[in-house]
Structure 1
Amino acid sequence: MKKIILLPILFLSFAQAETVVEKLSCKIETVVDGNTIICQQDSTKETITLILFQSIAPNGKQPYAKKAKDTLRKLLNIENNFLIQSYGKDQFGNILVTIFEYKLYGCGSKNLATTCTKYNNINLEMIKQGASWNNPLGQQFSDYQQAQEEAKKAKRGLWTEPNPIPPWIYRQMIRHEEKKQTDFILEEYRHNHPY
């Protein structure tokens, strides 16, 4: 299993400022889906759930859900090294994270041996590959929005579907299925977000 390190960052909310002070190191146990990773902390052996921040992949029985999971699994290749930034916890106690793959390589002049680091944002890469949506309800980062527009235009991943349904709309449809409100919810979404 690949070892990853959680780095604390400042987590701000409008009501109060809270600092995430806990440094965590963990080993990936499993990739649950295109958003979720289960890790075991090295120090406590406690199992924790990590959720990709700003990236929302198809759920459960949605089209492309299995491919999104496989994409995340491939991006978390056991041969690579990762750093993780934690943004605090969601309402279910899962840790919201951005995962960065990093590679060390030589750089600088011949006389100065220097090691440089290249980072690849896995959350952003999921969106670039069309394996997930940029979270429209989260913070709006231009690079995430641009990655989604480029994936959509190039018809990569889930964008090969004629009208992919985002997970948050899919969940509403499931909840309202018994009430026969599915058509209304889908029509309202498509009206506000034309493809």
Structure 2
Amino acid sequence: MKYSFKILLFLLVTNFIYSQKTLTAKVVGIKDGDTVVVLDSLNNQITLRLAEVDCPEKSQPFGTKAKQFTSDQIYLKTIKYVVTDTDRYGRSIAMIYYDVDNKYLSAEIIKAGMGWHYKRYSKSKELALFEDNAKKNKIGLWIDNNPIEPSEWRKQ
């Protein structure tokens, strides 16, 4: 019985992992630090909102730098992405991977201090550690003594 349960559990986990389809597209636009536009294989433009990270708004301190960071990482590159959800604006929320070593863009943004780990939608301990490290070392937006999260900035 235990053996059958383990096999069933393995099959369910494997099915879940592979049910999230990895797609490929070329990045043709950077709207801001956490929103990009890609061109898929059928030449459709798709707006992707990055999963697990929230970057400063354009008018916010470090907003322009966050956008430039994202651009420097992926603009005009072919990326891989996995759609995890859709936001209230109809954008696909996606985990984006790039370069030959499959860097995870949201992690790179957080490490560079160009965005917050979006704890409301992510429980990643690794991303939380990256944010803590950026804060501790005053990297990027953490050079400011009191950086304001984008969700609070939008309320002002």
TM-score per shorter chain, which class? 0.7 to 0.9
1:118-145, CA deviations, whole angstroms, 9 ceiling, x for partnerless residues? 3311110100000000012112100010
Q: Residues of 2 paired with 1:82 and 1:39: CA distance?
A: 9
Counterparts of residues 132-143 of structure 1 (less than 5 Å): 132-143=115-126
2:46 equivalent in structure 1? 48
Tell me if 1:99 matches 2:82: no
* Structure 1 residue runs of 4 or more that deviate by more than 6 Å after TM superposition: none
Please tell me whether the aligned partners of residues 10 and 87 of structure 1 are also in contact (alpha carbons under 8 angstroms). Answer: no
1:64 to 62, 65, 76: 62
Alignment correspondent of 1:82: 79
Residue type at the aligned position of 1:85: V
Gaps of 5+ in 2: 1-14
Q: Name 2:34's counterpart in structure 1.
A: 35
Letter in 1 for 2:83: S
Deviations 1:50-104 (A, max 9, x none): 01001100002100000000111111154x653211112112110111111242x
Count of residue correspondences: 141
State the secondary structure of the residue aligned to 1:74.
helix
TM-score under structure 2 length normalisation: 0.81
Alignment identity in percent? Answer: 25
TM-score, structure 1 normalization: 0.66
User: Could you say which structure has the higher strand fraction?
Assistant: 1
**1:73 aligned partner, one-letter code:** S
Please tell me whether the aligned partners of residues 24 and 78 of structure 2 are also in contact (alpha carbons under 8 angstroms): no
Q: 1:85 to 1:158 in 2, by over 3 A?
A: same
CA distance in 2: counterparts of 1:169 and 1:89, whole angstroms: 22
Task: Give the structure with the larger helix fraction.
Answer: 2
**Which of 112, 121, 125 is 2:108 aligned to?**
125
Q: Which runs of 5+ in 1 are unaligned?
A: 1-8, 12-18, 104-117, 174-195
Residue 158 of structure 1 and its aligned partner are, at CA, apart by 0.4
SS at match of 1:163: coil
Given that residues 80 and 98 in structure 2 are in contact (C-alpha distance below 8 angstroms), is that contact kept between their aligned partners in structure 1?
yes
Alignment-derived partner of residue 182 in structure 1: none
User: Partners in 2 of 1:60 and 1:82 — Cα distance?
Assistant: 24
Could you report, residue by residue, the CA deviation over 1:121-178 in whole angstroms, capped at 9, with x for unpaired residues?
Answer: 11101000000000121121000100000000010000011110000000112xxxxx
Please, what is the CA RMSD of the aligned residues?
2.1
Shift in Å, 1:10: 5.1
Q: Distance in 2 between matches of 1:120 and 1:133?
A: 18
